[in-house]
Structure 1
Amino acid sequence: MGEAADFVVVGAGSAGAVIAARLSEDPTTRVVLIEAGGAPPPAELMPAACPVLQVNPETDWMYTADAGGAGLGLAGGRMMVPRGRMLGGSSGINYLAYVRGHPGDFDSWAEGGASGWSYDEVLPYFRKSEALVTSGEVPIDAEAHGTDGPLGVAVRAPVLPGAQAFVEAAVAAGIPAGDYNGRDRGGPAGLVSLLQTTTLAGKRASTYHAFLEGKPEIRPNLMVLTHAQVTRIVIEGEPGALRATGVEYVDENGATQVITARNEVVLSAGSIGSPQLLMVSGVGPREHLEDVGVACRVDAPDVGQHLKDHLQFGLFVPAPGLGVSMVSMGIAMGPDALRAPAGPLPADPADDGSLPPELEGLRAEAERQVTEWFTTGSGLASSSLYDASAWFSTGLGDPHTHDAQIGLFACGYNADIWQGVLRVDPAAYFADPETALSPTAESMLVLANPVQPHSEGEILLTSPDPREAPDIRMNYYDDPHDMAVMIAVVRRALDIVDKLREAHGVGEVQVPPALAAKHGHTPGAEMSDALIEDLARHYSFTVYHPTSTCRIGSVVDPDLRVLGVDGLRVADASVMPNVVSGNTNAAAIMIGEKAAELIARDHGLTLDEFVGGPA
């Protein structure tokens, strides 16, 4: 006989960690949280170490996707789809932006049938999580924020010159400053701000650190299983009376185990993992399941469908005095970041005793800076360098929200990251990659990001074995509306770059030589719509925001219960009826908070606090 619990939560990511922590506040209930990965590595705490956590099988599922109408310049034409594989999930590998979305996003959900999910109804859950550390560097709508929740939210310290310059340039370009997480995100003109980030004292505040680490994870009524990959939801009964009674998983020794759920199974495996697990368990489009050899228990045509994701195109600009060089980043991250084969220090720290004076000075300064970050939370290592953003409306549609976002990444990265993480050959993108991406080059990326895509992708099975990666089809730019918006957002981003050039003398936007020649473009000349479209189709990158593959109204009801199967809910970004107009992690955490209260009310549990209205 396997383990038994009242609630089994699958996936310890942005929502799952929240749900397990909250449900286990009631000491009379037993909760099991199952995670395919392990504990976060030490590098996860350092915000600047984001790229190290991607393309790493210990922390990333390392999926890639068919990019549809994008990806022409990416390796194999495929888009990277990083997904966190550890306690904290993708909140442990993301770029830490704490962005809730426009109030109109949630009101639109409710108007479309997701009762209980309007802005006024979800705002208490955002506040419940948040422990905002206020800063004089950004405007704050105090009534919209929480200050005593478990999730650290703060503005990096010190503020980078490039980030401050971006905010000033956006204001000069007609976008006013404001609190993008406030109750009013402004009209069509939008607003701009330094980013609020999921950090506490300069360290990453993933949902593992915020909700599980410490006392919660040692509660006697909470079992956290790591290195345990769920392979199937156990569904019993006859058609019309089906019930989820537990899950099957493979433990770290390769043995198959079963955990029984007396009350509910809660699926929080994310917008890729949740539909995949539903389908391998027989809940999904009948024809597709039968084609791959899975017996269909519930014909649910929308499982895995309606995939939404954000795309961004980065305008690379040389920015002496504003951008952050990779040498500066390496020093800030400590001596280990400077070691061979990529860096000047010996691969083995035992060899440091024989360093020449200049390298000993470099090692000592790196040690000083990383110690300062670790002890005070201050310094370059304290953020991902994705440090400021603006939102506004292009006027091309979606009047309920902002359809455009422009972000600032204060570093241009190096050749290894362009090739390994971004999947771009630097020799194809840059006329002189050694100069553009040299260790001492100071450059920035201004990121044009449409945030209300109309195109929809899908998740399909490649095999009945859930350990096989699914077939992810992003279908980017399938709807012509999305390219029209991208062109409009790039033009607005170019306006901001022009303001940066006027104030700080930044260089011209880099255009890959082959595309420049194809369109007759010369440095400094105005870009044609055709060139912008070609750039977007070649070099748009995911913003890592897949949603809506188990959306409310199609796969789950407004209380997140799976249609057709009792005792089973989905609670993660996959339930969003539509993607929010901004980074998705904050909304995923909110979904976890609301799901925990929905479950607790249904089963009479006692939580430390209820913030939602009566059921």
Structure 2
Amino acid sequence: MEFDYVIVGGGSGGATLASRLSEDPGVTVCLIEAGGDGRGILVRAPAATVAMLPGRPPINNYAYKTVPQPGLGGRSGYQPRGRGLGGSSAINAMLYVRGHRDDYDDWARAGCEGWSFDEVLPYFKRAEGNERGESALHGAGGPLQVSEQQSPRPITEDFIRAAAECGIPRNDDFNGAEQEGAGLYQVTQFHGGTKNGERCSAAAAYLHPVMHARPNLTVLTGAQALRVVLDGKRATGVEVRRGGSTEVIRAHREVALCGGAFNSPQLLMLSGIGDPAELGRHGIAVRHALPGVGQNLQDHTDFILAYTSKDIDLFGIGVKAGLKLTKAIFEWRKSGKGLVATPFAEGGAFIKSSPELRRPDLQLHFVIAITDDHARKLHMGFGFSCHVCVLRPKGRGDVRLNDANPLSVPRIDPRFLSDAEDMALLLQGVKKMREILRAPALEKYRHREVYTSDAHTDEELTQHIRSRADTIYHPVGTCKMGVDAMAVVDPKLRVHGIENLRVVDASVMPTLIGGNTNAPTIMIAERAADWMRGPITFDRAVLDARAPATSPAPSALLEAAVGAALSPAPAAARSGM
């Protein structure tokens, strides 16, 4: 088991990187993924994220929890993270958002040479296969399918009208010249063909089409990375547990960690790379002192307002809702359209808390269902809800170890709302969101405000925020890129002080971008691939015959139940599309 490149983690960063590196037939690439192959029906059917997100049982989801958060009234937050090829892009809402151009210019100004918006834009465009076609800001030929929503609900258009009634202009492209405004999100979803309406995860875009066709690419699923193997200050491979046995997979050129903001710093620390004090607490020998590992955790703190509704053209719970969903499953199997194709968060807005700001500092996600505690609390009947989050929080948390066992979960402490300015801005955002939801355009949909109908003062709303705020799934920063003393990787994503080791995922972001993080993570991997591979030689080095490992058959009853309802897969069911 020797390769030129060994990649740990098959999520948005790892799937992209493995695909791009293996385009050169003269190199060999091994991708290691702890979960399954990311092809299941729950992944392909967009609305089925509601079955995976809660983590009860954990399906394609690590379902992490944070330590108790004083800013959340002592509650432990919930941190769903994708497990399987595609990573969190296999369980997310599929929203295609890049952030604001100034976010990347900030990185460059802070010492991350090569990361200004003008420098990263070509990599966004390289990845993007946008249904709208090629333009100065968009790509049309990339593997990541970016599409209009198949069947947005009428209420979402009325949400956009409600925002306009509150002074927020319409914006039909959040990744265009201006980010501010309200509109429909574009989604990472197949458009046209036999996969129309299916989720386009990073694995579906980059890996699945090539993983069995390229003899120089080996994908190992069900393989848990235990540590990076070091020879002095040089990475030489990865120790992996697979099928009950432990083995070392050697890397002749480089090892790349793509486990995300929680798992990448954890693996570095388990390998003896990190803060000596943290490593010493767990009896791990220090191989390289790097105090920034696990520090600088940032995430979008989010709060939800919800309403019950008498409108049944929404996603709901109950007999009537079940009958509608059954019809919707047949519609999706036939055409890829309808309720099963929804990203749930169909509409949204980027708004400024003050008109003097250069860029929006708040984001809204309008959802065609009542979302409560990450879909872990269900409400009978129909309804809608809206999220608001602070885009560039000042609070910082960290990721540490619970112990030296590689199979243990990481210790996650985001320190949500530990900064008073974050709390004040979130409160301001909640009040603006409530103004929009109470606007005339949504009057016909509103029935009863859930939880907050009796909250009128800032103090009462603050109490609700402390009681129910949590993540909206955008953790970054724990292996931050930079040149300062707390940076973990340099601007080419090489781990400081260690040869042949890079980190290629959202953990390298020095600051959180103003938006969803999936598209930026794919961009980061596209950028890294160019640095790692250099010119493609086309000197084919065919590996010995070997079949990529397959993931274990899904065992959860929920997977089987939903799979039975949705199967056969849309690709097999749709003819002539």
Shorter chain as normaliser: what TM range?
Answer: 0.7 to 0.9
Map 1:8-87 → 2, pairs under 5 A: 8-40=6-38, 41-54=40-53, 55=55, 56-72=57-73, 77-87=75-85
Residue 199 of structure 1 aligns to a residue in which SS?
Answer: coil
C-alpha deviation, 1:510, in angstroms: 2.5
Matched ranges for 1:110-189 at <5 A? 110-134=108-132, 142-186=135-179
Cα deviation, residue 185, structure 1: 2.1
Aligned: 1:90 with 2:88: yes
1:461 equivalenced with 2:401 (yes/no): yes
Work out the number of aligned pairs and report it: 526
**1:406 Cα offset (Å):** 1.2
Distance 2:320 2:447 in 1: 24
Counterparts of 2:295 and 2:327, CA distance in 1: 50
Q: TM-score, normalised by structure 1?
A: 0.82
Please say if residues 449 and 486 of structure 1, whose CA atoms lie closer than 8 Å, have aligned partners that are also in contact. yes
- What is the one-letter code of the residue matched to 1:495? E
Matched with 1:380 is: 339
Distance between the aligned counterparts of 2:211 and 2:473, measured in 1? 29
Say yes or no: does 1:562 pair with 2:555.
no
> Quick one: which of 571, 583, 598 aligns to 2:516?
583
The correspondence for 1:535, drawn from 455, 464, 480, is: 464
How far is 1:528 from its partner?
Answer: 1.3
Equivalent pair of 2:69/2:75 in contact (CA under 8 Å): no
Deviations 1:352-384 (A, max 9, x none): xxxxxxxxxx5xx76653232123211000022
In the other structure, the counterpart of 2:549 is: none
Equivalent residue for 2:217?
222
Shift of 1:217: 3.8
How many Å separate the matches in 1 of 2:531 and 2:286? 28
1:529 Cα deviation from its structure 2 partner: 1.2
Counterpart residue identity of residue 109, structure 1: W
Are the equivalent residues in 2 in contact too, given 1:501–1:507 (CA < 8 A)?
no
Distance in structure 2 (CA, Å) of the matches to 1:304 and 1:411: 35
Per the TM alignment, residue 277 of structure 1 is displaced from its structure 2 partner at its CA by 0.3
Superposition deviation, residue 442 in structure 1: 2.5
Normalising by structure 2, report the TM-score.
0.87
Q: Give yes or no for contact 1:248–1:259 (8 Å, CA) kept in 2.
A: yes
Q: What is the CA-CA distance between 1:36 and the residue it aligns to?
A: 0.2
Amino acid at match of 1:409: V
Given residue 579 of structure 1, which amino acid in structure 2 is its aligned partner? L
Q: CA deviation at 1:587?
A: 0.6
Alignment match, 1:472: 412
**Structure 1 segments unaligned to the other structure (5+ residues):** 135-139, 332-337, 339-361, 427-436, 522-526, 608-615
8 Å CA contact retained: 1:37, 1:58: no
Give the C-alpha shift of residue 559 in structure 1: 0.2
Task: Give the letter for the 2:41 counterpart.
Answer: P
Matched residue of 2:149: which SS? coil
What residue number does 2:303 align with?
313
Give the structure 1 partner of residue 390 of structure 2: 450
Q: Distance in 1 between matches of 2:480 and 2:419?
A: 20
TM-fit CA distance, 1:449: 1.3
- In 1, Cα distance between equivalents of 2:319 and 2:84: 25
Residue pair 1:67, 1:476 contacting (<8 A) in 2 also = no
Q: Secondary structure at the match of 1:20?
A: helix
* 8 A contact 2:155–2:442 mirrored in 1: no
Whether 1:406 aligns to 2:364 is: yes
Mark the CA change 1:484 to 1:384 in structure 2 (over 3 Å): closer, same or farther: same
Name the CA shift for 1:375/1:149 in 2 (closer, same or farther; >3 Å): farther
Of 481, 503, 507, the match for 1:552: 481
Give 1:244's aligned residue: 235
The one-letter code of the counterpart of 1:79 is: G
Gaps of 5+ in 2: 191-195, 539-577
Within a 5 Å distance, the mapping from 1:272-291 to structure 2 comes to 272-291=262-281
Q: Percent identity?
A: 36
Return the letter of the residue paired with 1:202. Answer: G
Change (3 A) 1:46 1:329: farther
Aligned partner of 1:605 among 536, 541, 546: 536
Distance 1:236 1:48 in 2: 47
Distance change >3 Å, CA 61–CA 477, structure 1 → 2: same
Q: Which amino acid aligns with 1:286?
A: P
Distance 1:400 1:461, change over 3 A: farther
Do the aligned residues in 2 keep the contact of 1:329 with 1:380 (CA within 8 Å)?
A: no
Structure 1 distance, partners of 2:172, 2:533, is 32
Residue 275 of structure 2 aligns with an amino acid whose one-letter code is P
Q: CA deviation at 1:606?
A: 5.2
Q: 1:487·1:529 contact (CA, 8 Å) conserved in 2?
A: yes
Q: Which amino acid aligns with 1:250?
A: R
Could you tell me which residue of structure 1 aligns to residue 507 of structure 2?
A: 574
What code does the residue aligned with 1:268 have? C
Cα 1:121–1:273 shift into 2, 3 Å: same
Q: Is the 8 A contact 2:19 2:210 kept in 1?
A: no
- Amino acid in structure 2 at the alignment position of 1:404: L
One-letter identity of the residue aligned with 2:206:
F
Deviation at 1:318, TM superposition (A): 2.4
Q: Structure 1 residues 405 and 66 mapped into 2: Cα distance closer, same or farther (>3 Å)? A: same
Q: CA deviation at 1:605?
A: 3.1
Give the AA of the match of 1:389. Answer: G
